[in-house]
Amino acid sequence: MKPHTIIPLLLAAILALAGCSQRTLRSAQQDTRHNINEVKPQLAKLDLGARVTAALKAAGLNGVRVDASANGVSLHGPVKSAADKARAGRIAKDTLGPDKSVDNALTVR
């Protein structure tokens, strides 16, 4: 084995053998509960927004702001035509699927 791989393995073994106190275990359980209850829904919203934003940019619809919620997304900002507004709404709906809503608040300039 190469020296640069031995050191991390030794550190991992030492930490594993050291064990964890009950306080550390309780803290880890609390962190896990917090992540499940609070962080996971936030990540789900970010995922919705990121997927729709990427799909709109791939379609050449730049400058559209996507606000995500647990139920879906809202589209905001200016677009060049009514056709672009409708296309952005369809892309968002197709990206999210039937169980999420799209509020198309884009303005035609």
pLDDT at residue 93 is higher than 70: yes
Q: What percent of the chain has pLDDT over 70?
A: 83
Would you place residue 43 in the very low, low, confident or very high pLDDT band (cuts 50, 70, 90)?
confident
Q: How many residues does this entry show for the chain?
A: 109
pLDDT at residue 1 is higher than 60: no
Per-chain mean pLDDT for the chain: 85
What the block records as the tokens of 77 is: 């900002």
pLDDT at residue 82 is higher than 90: yes
Q: What does pTM read for this prediction?
A: 0.68
- Judge contact between 66 and 101, C-beta under 8 A: no
CA atoms of 54 and 81, how far apart (whole Å): 20
* Amino acid letter, residue 6: I
pLDDT at residue 107 is higher than 60: yes
CATH number (3.40.50.10320, 3.30.2130.30, 3.30.70.1770, 3.40.50.150) of 3-108 reads: 3.30.70.1770
